[in-house]
Amino acid sequence: MRFRRSDVRTEATLNPRRMSGIDSMFLRLDRGSAYQHTLKIAIVDPSTDPDGWSFDRYRALVEHQLRVVPTMRQRYVDTPLGLHHPQWVDDPEFDLDVHLRRVVCPPPGDMAQFCTLVEQVYCHPLDRDRPLWQVWVVEGLQGGRVGLLALIHHSYSDGAGMRAILEAMTTAEPFFVPPQRDEDRPVPAPPQPSTLQRVVFGIRDLPPVFRQLGPGIQALRERIRLEREFAEGGAGDRPSGADRRKPQPFGGRLARGRRFACGTVPLEDMRQVGKALGGTINDVFLACVAGSVRAYLTSKGEACTEPLVAAMPLTTKPAAEREFPGGNFSSSDDVWLHAEIADPVLRFDATRASAQATKEHFNAVSDADPFGLVDLIPGPVFSGLIRLDERSGGGRMMPVSNVIVSNVRGPDETRYVGRCRLQNWFSTGQVWHGATLNFTGWSYAGEFNFCVLASSRQVPNAWPLVEQFEGALNELVEHAKSRPAAGKVAGAHADSKPMAQ
């Protein structure tokens, strides 16, 4: 069943819930310069609201919508001695005004100025004593628009779940916020569990983890067997473990700073290229990323003689099948970025073949997903592995390297924030040590929006990558116009499971 507004508990409190191993992984990865919050950006058009823009009305709307998604009123508490993963509990001191920030974009209020503001805001860790999110309301954008810049920690949810949460906080029609009644005011949250209670709860919740030990070891053995069979089958058009360990242009340690830029292209252009060249929206996206990276490296005088490794976050459980929209049901697989191929059509053909090989590999080994083993690793041990990975420059312990590519299908219809039309919607995940460049696509209402997020050491300026992505797509569009359709695109993102970021 699909996650709907009516499916969500609307009372002010939720029962404490244990993080999964993957949820906890994102929390432990968040250290130093490896920020683990994601970006969700809405550009709203207040001209559809008869009363115009009002920060106070927006605040009232958020207060109302938090009844729909009460998980955003929860903070985490550790389990003493690392006995178990942390728990989400209602924050008894929740204060909405702490999470809503109001700023004005410097003139002229264009996307370049806005993205510079995003870079500055992103590089501040979230306060771990409160729910792990903030929304920066950015006024003063060109055309009277307003930017809603949300920083949401990845430990809450993967991309598929976050899309469901964000859709629950918007509406398909203009929505007038009703005056708050006394009975609508949040019920005070209970006190946080004491240290002793957290110890008791951690011990109480351990037996299911122990029961996973046998199946987990068996899954690891099965994974090794499946990987061997897959390699022997000759489907080798995807990176191997050895390929991931080779030096990559976007490997290395993260800097403190980030670079961010975003762009929008017509979704119909992506569809037409896929139809003409016989691929999917995801093939087009990956081919354009490869073209962008090729042009970027070439402009710096770096030769592109071999394909580059990219990591694709994947969702193992669609949001429609989840009991609760939050949580991380994530895995990852590698795909080639064929930046070594100059011809755009040949690059697309190679990309399509590589994406198909990655899809086949993921489907073949998905029943033995190594991410499931994260639940079995004690927290202190996992923290130690993360520190070792950080010292090595990344890419050793973590299943990502070089470039992260994620492509999420967003809402097809226009959404509203109150009575303001949601004009554009951008989303991106994070970058890791060893994977310092992230391309994320997020379709919305007939447009394909994409973001580039990078470590400032490896990418001093992200805008060339946006321009080169657009250039790579324009090349494919011109080729698509000169030939009949080779196939049909079944959907905007038909060839892969929903991405996780």
Question: Nearest to residue 159, comparing CAs of 329, 2, 6?
Answer: 329
Distance from C-alpha of 131 to C-alpha of 60, rounded to nearest angstrom: 19
Q: How far is CA 26 from CA 86, 102, 278, 327, 330, in A?
A: 12, 28, 37, 11, 11
Distance from C-alpha of 482 to C-alpha of 276, rounded to nearest angstrom: 9
Q: What is the pTM of this model?
A: 0.90
pLDDT of 469 reads: 98
Question: Nearest to residue 440, comparing CAs of 252, 254, 248, 263?
Answer: 263
Q: Which pair of tokens denotes residue 165? A: 């949460």
CA 411-421-97 angle, 5° bins:
95
Coil, strand or helix: which one is 442? strand
Spell out the per-residue pLDDT of the chain, length 501, in tens: 233 333 333 444 567 889 988 899 999 999 999 999 999 999 999 999 999 999 999 999 999 888 888 889 999 999 998 889 999 999 999 999 999 999 999 999 999 999 999 999 999 999 999 999 999 999 999 999 999 999 999 999 988 888 888 888 899 999 888 777 666 666 778 888 999 999 999 999 988 888 877 777 777 787 777 777 777 665 568 887 778 778 899 999 999 999 999 999 999 999 999 999 999 999 999 999 999 999 999 999 998 999 999 999 888 887 777 777 678 887 888 999 999 999 999 999 999 999 998 988 888 777 666 666 777 788 888 888 888 888 877 766 676 889 999 998 889 999 999 999 999 999 999 999 999 999 999 999 999 999 999 999 999 999 999 999 999 999 999 999 887 666 555 444 533 443 444
Neighbours of 349 (CB within 10 A): 18
Question: Nearest to residue 374, comparing CAs of 500, 212, 221?
Answer: 212
- Beta strand 420-428 with 37-45: parallel, antiparallel or unpaired? antiparallel
Residues 6+ away with beta carbon under 8 Å from 242: none
Q: Which residues are catalytic?
A: 154
- Beta strand 416-417 with 420-428: parallel, antiparallel or unpaired? antiparallel
pLDDT of 327 reads: 85
Distance from C-alpha of 497 to C-alpha of 313, rounded to nearest angstrom: 10
Residue whose pair of structure tokens reads 């004491």 in the numeric block: 194
Residue whose pair of structure tokens reads 């990276």 in the numeric block: 293
Cα 47 to the chain's mean position, in Å?
A: 30
- Beta strand 258-266 with 308-315: parallel, antiparallel or unpaired? unpaired
**Would you say the C-alpha torsion 72, 77, 78, 84 has a positive or negative sign?**
negative
Distance from C-alpha of 3 to C-alpha of 320, rounded to nearest angstrom: 6
pLDDT of 165 reads: 87
Say if residues 440 and 427 touch (Cβ distance below 8 Å): yes
Coil, strand or helix: which one is 255? coil
**264 strand-pairing partners:** 449
CA 14-16-21 angle, 5° bins:
125
225-246 as b/e: b if 16+ CB within 10 A? ebbeebeeeeeebbbeeebbee
Say if residues 24 and 36 touch (Cβ distance below 8 Å): no
Outline where 66-125 has alpha helix (H): 96-99, 111-122
Q: SS3 breakdown of the chain: % helix, strand, coil, rounded to 5?
A: 40, 20, 40
Distance from C-alpha of 270 to C-alpha of 280, rounded to nearest angstrom: 8
Helix H or strand E encompassing 258: strand 258-266
pLDDT of 230 reads: 72
Distance from C-alpha of 14 to C-alpha of 233, rounded to nearest angstrom: 49
pLDDT of 490 reads: 46
pLDDT of 5 reads: 38
19, 24, 27, 28: CA torsion to nearest 10: 150
Distance from C-alpha of 98 to C-alpha of 92, rounded to nearest angstrom: 14
Domains of the chain and CATH, by start: 5-180 (3.30.559.10), 236-415+422-481 (3.30.559.30)
- Beta strand 437-444 with 403-408: parallel, antiparallel or unpaired? parallel
Q: Within a 13 Å sphere around the CA of 65, how many CA atoms are in the beta-carbon half?
A: 20
pLDDT of 229 reads: 74
Q: Which pair of tokens denotes residue 380? A: 């202190």
Distance from C-alpha of 346 to C-alpha of 193, rounded to nearest angstrom: 59
Give 143-188 as a DSSP string: GG-EEEEEEEETTTB-HHHHHHHHHHTSBSS--PPPPPPGGGSPPP
pLDDT of 159 reads: 84
Distance from C-alpha of 289 to C-alpha of 338, rounded to nearest angstrom: 9
pLDDT of 395 reads: 64
Say if residues 448 and 246 touch (Cβ distance below 8 Å): no
